[in-house]
Amino acid sequence: MKNHPYAVCFGETLWDIFPDDARAGGAPFNVAYHISRMGCDAKMLSKVGHDELGKKLIDQIREWGITTEYIQIDKEKPTSTVVANFDENNEAHYEIIKDVAWDYIEIMDQHQELIAGAEAFVFGSLCARNLKTRETLFHLLKHAKFRVFDVNFRPPFIDLETIKALLHQTDLVKMNKSELRKILEFFDQTYTTEEAGVSFIQQYFGIHEVILTKGSKGAKYFIGDQKYDFSAVPVEIGDTVGSGDAFLAGFLSKRLIGEKPETIMRQAVALGAFVTSQFGACPDYHYEQFRTFRDSRSCVSL
């Protein structure tokens, strides 16, 4: 652990139930999956039920080469499922089942060393909806050296005080433009420009780094008062499930090894586009396939 850089992704691991099939997912797990596909090491810290769906999920994760050492088994609560439906623009809408295994992630003895040794600790807002997992999350945040908050608002699981508390313990926050506007609304701030909105969040919460994703309009990366602005990579859309998670994984796969911001963002934008051109959050692919895709398309710095 001490010599090999790795990320820890914390929170929901689940089955996305689509009209045609079921696929392994959950925002933090999607990030872990794509980090591993980029040739980096990712540990998933989650919980599944002691049921058939949980067994299949564990088997699938192992088959993908990701350790299940830190995925707990709950003997009472079921493995999580999310029912996904698509609108006419191929945008996914989710029905998230409550009171499931990952709502009850426990603190274990080995967690402190695991988190302290990670180059990044990745978490979202959905996993903090229940008291048990929320308490575990805030405990682990105390030991993380680089805390990455991937905002993923999923109504009705949006609690203002929890969002505030998480932002106060964040080193890098990733959000889309809708989430930026929502956060500004929480503080009675009028949205004027992307830069002004991000600046408010940076200053109010003391967050040095902010990623703002904008779908087909690209993404921006703010480091202090510096800004890196990249266009999107045009693709034919398969579906948009997990594209933001893939973007973050691409970003972290380069940041974990200390690459410069331009290289980090090119990887992030390309991986987000690549997954958008596929179906599902965790399509089956190898790094060489992604690299061919990335190198054949231009990610323009604006």
Q: Which of 191, 156, 188, 149 is nearest to 171 (CA)?
A: 149
Average pLDDT over residues 258-265: 95
Domain range for 11: 6-295
Q: Tokens at residue 53, please?
A: 């769906």
Q: Does residue 62 sit within a domain?
A: yes
Whole-number percent of the chain with pLDDT over 90: 79
Average pLDDT of the chain?
Answer: 92
* pLDDT at res. 2: 46
Q: Does residue 1 sit within a domain?
A: no
Which amino acid, 160?
L
* pLDDT at res. 299: 58
Q: What is the 3-state secondary structure (H, E, C) of 208-268?
A: CEEEEECHHHCEEEEECCEEEEECCCCCCCCCCCCHHHHHHHHHHHHHCCCCCHHHHHHHH
* pLDDT at res. 85: 75
The CATH number of the domain holding residue 187 is 3.40.1190.20
Q: Which of 177, 173, 215, 218 is nearest to 195 (CA)?
A: 177
Q: Does residue 78 sit within a domain?
A: yes
* pLDDT at res. 72: 98
Count of domains forming the chain: 1
Give the separation between CA 70 and CA 111, rounded to whole angstroms.
8
Number of Cβ within 10 Å of residue 224's Cβ equals 9
Give the separation between CA 282 and CA 174, rounded to whole angstroms.
20
Average pLDDT over residues 55-70: 96
pLDDT digits (tens, 9 = 90+) for 121-167: 999 999 999 999 999 999 999 999 999 999 988 888 888 899 999 99
Residue 1's pLDDT band (boundaries 50, 70, 90)?
Answer: very low
Q: What SS3 state is found at 40?
A: coil
Average pLDDT over residues 178-202: 95
Q: Tokens at residue 169, please?
A: 């313990």
Continuous H helices in the chain: 27-37, 52-63, 111-117, 131-141, 160-167, 177-186, 194-205, 243-255, 261-276, 287-295
Q: Does residue 302 sit within a domain?
A: no
Q: Does residue 152 sit within a domain?
A: yes
Our measurement of the distance from residue 128's CA atom to the centroid of its chain's CA atoms, rounded to an integer in Å, reads 14
Give the separation between CA 260 and CA 258, rounded to whole angstroms.
7
Number of Cβ within 10 Å of residue 111's Cβ equals 19
Average pLDDT over residues 82-108: 84
Q: Does residue 291 sit within a domain?
A: yes
Q: In this predicted model, which residue has the larger pLDDT, 181 or 241?
A: 181
Q: Does residue 158 sit within a domain?
A: yes
Which amino acid, 174?
K
Q: Does residue 222 sit within a domain?
A: yes
